Amino acid sequence: MTGVRLRKTLGLARRYPLVPATILVGIVTAVLGAVAPGVIGAWLAGGYALAVALWVAIGMVRELRSGRWGIDLLAVVAVVSTVLVGDHWAALIVVLMITGGRALEDFASNRAQDQLRALIDRTPRVAHRMGSDGGEVLDVPVEQLAVGDLLLIKPGETVPVDGDLLDDQAEMDESSLTGESLPVLHRRGDRLRSGSVAGADTLHLRAVALARDSEYQQIVQMVQDAAGTKSRFIRIADRVAVPFSAVSFLIGGLAWLVSGDPVRFAEVLVVATPCSLLIAAPVAIVAGMGLASRHGVVVKDGDALSKLARPAVVAFDKTGTLTRGTPEVARVEPLDGSTGTEVLAVAAALESGSAHVLAQAIVRAAADAGVPASPVAGLKERPGLGLEGTIDGRPARVGRPAYAGVEESPAGAGESVVYVALDGRPLGRIVLSDAIRQESGEVIARLRDLGVRSFMMLSGDSPATTGAVGRLLGIDQVRGGLLPGEKLAAVAAIDEHPVVMVGDGVNDAPVLAAADVGVAMGARGATAASESADAVILSDSLQPLADAVEIAQRTRRIALQSITVGVSLSILLMLVATTGVIPATVGALLQEAVDLITILNGLRAARLPRARAARPRTSGTLDPVEAPGGVRP
């Protein structure tokens, strides 16, 4: 344990060398003053302080060129003035405030991760290209594919470029593109988009676009473009830096003018360099980020946490965000005197031999209902139709209506239907849908209480399905049938800011990167959505979103409190310093006391008040009633 701590300490020292260097210079100066009184120690401390001031000044000029003003000018003038009046200890204390504050700020801002790594890693790199006669198959880089090439897609593989289907039909998983959790059936001649995933069958398609022009690669490019427009980490202190600096120089100049003693100017400027502006606000932000992570949300930088504290609009994807993202059995509808248990038992017996996403949902529902699984003989799968086998000597089928000998009946919005037959007669049908998360309603209500003025749903799913879910949850604006670029345009058109966008799939990556704050549902792995987002919810629940907003609001309040207290006490000390009763070194130590107060206040952001922490969380369960459009929560 000691070795681990030592390595961490050495790592921090290498990353922020000026902090230990300042401490070391102070120790050496003290030793020199004890064993060899004279000017050597003063020259060492003063020279080091001036060197750091020069380094800070160079950085300050660079920031001024980029249009950013901070409080570094006060720090530089305080160091120079204390050195010129011969108070090297005051100069070292100010330098320690500067270097320590920059180290803490850098630690907070560098929590951001590479936003594009997962998205780029998922990009198809190799394609199976067939000869013109459909013979020999060669693996080639996707960049070498040309329009018109014949491609083979194996089961479970990602389509590398946009192409037209050459087979009679194919079921594709398009959740990474549209967010639709249910498989999409395509027929011969349909356009298959890159990024979609093949089902259980080997597919053949003809390329209609180059890799760089295909759907998935364009998503990658949109994320890169959107991420490039993100704002940088901005210290809350910068908002008060200009007026505070002006007041400080005014008080110091008046003290010098009235007294005729330049030492008064140095004494005023030393107490005018509050650590509360350099450190306390970043400390509060880092503490708030740590608290959010303990509540299941990783916030990647302080700028995102600050914006998360005051969202004007919250926009949601539907599938996997407001809904669970996986199909579940909504209801069993028996026919001709059959029972629901019988329908579910036959279907589960046959589907237990399939890896299809709908099959898994049916088997899971049967197990949850305690329906026993019957043995099946002669199980066969008919691609695109369903499964058949013999149960207790009786032929059984499950799948499409014609295959089960049933006349197709309409399904509700967002529903898929599996038909069941036994002994050549229809037993009934099983309706599956993507269930709304139980906590979705409560989370939206909590966000309204926290000040969110408007809610939106932006989904690639059908308008009928999204409309039904939106009405059930009381969402203000609902838009369905959107492609990734259309989601991006919808968020860009929002007038109120900050805009928080919550999503999960690869299709959400561009809009998450472009929103003021992108929040990804990352419980299912390090997806491109989580990598392009500003915050990631680690659990498979929306509850942490409301927790994160509440934590961000409290953190922002505490950071502003620290700034207010620090500035107020600093101004009070400046006024006292104009009388000459506070030497520069004493003033620097008094300022450190002010800093300690504000830092301790900032650390309160690391924990919730006892009453809030002990408050029980309600389940937020929605009544299991039929919603408009046939969507069942």
Query: Which residues participate in catalysis according to the annotation?
Result: 317
| Residue at token pair 């069993």 | 332
Gap between the terminal Cα atoms of the chain: 49
- C-alpha 481/C-alpha 421 separation (Å) is 34
Cβ 98 vs Cβ 80: under 8 Å: no
- C-alpha 217/C-alpha 209 separation (Å) is 11
Cβ 218 vs Cβ 177: under 8 Å: no
- C-alpha 553/C-alpha 135 separation (Å) is 63
Q: Which two tokens stand for residue 207?
A: 């390329």
Which residues neighbour 190 within 8 Å (Cβ) at sequence distance 6 or greater?
A: 164, 165
Helix (H, G, I), strand (E, B) or coil at 356: coil
Residue 544's identity, in one-letter code, is P
Cβ 592 vs Cβ 278: under 8 Å: no
User: Crossing angle, helix 543-577 and helix 440-449, to 10 degrees?
Assistant: 20
Q: Which two tokens stand for residue 364?
A: 């899971």
Residue 452 Cα distances to 419, 438, 456, 463, 544, angstroms: 44, 20, 11, 24, 16
Would strands 386-391 and 394-399 be described as parallel, antiparallel, or unpaired? antiparallel
Which residues neighbour 502 within 8 Å (Cβ) at sequence distance 6 or greater?
A: 314, 315, 316, 317, 321, 519, 520, 521, 542, 545
Would strands 499-503 and 517-521 be described as parallel, antiparallel, or unpaired? parallel
> What's the per-residue H, E or C state across 553-606?
HHHHHHHHHHHHHHHHHHHHHHHHHCCCCCCHHHHHHHHHHHHHHHHHHHHHHH
DSSP 8-state class, residue 236: T
- C-alpha 88/C-alpha 350 separation (Å) is 84
- What are residue 323's DSSP bridge partners? 436
Which residue, 332, 478, 349, is CA-closest to 415?
A: 332
How many residues belong to the chain? Answer: 633
- What are residue 440's DSSP bridge partners? none
- C-alpha 603/C-alpha 596 separation (Å) is 11
- C-alpha 436/C-alpha 572 separation (Å) is 56
- For every residue of 206-255, DSSP letters joined together read EE-S-GGGSHHHHHHHHHHHHHTTPPPP--TTHHHHHHHHHHHHHHHHHH
Residue 583 Cα distances to 89, 410, 557, 586, 623, angstroms: 11, 86, 34, 5, 70
Residue 523 Cα distances to 155, 515, 520, angstroms: 25, 21, 9
Q: Which two tokens stand for residue 627?
A: 């919603």
Cβ 59 vs Cβ 76: under 8 Å: no
DSSP 8-state class, residue 158: B
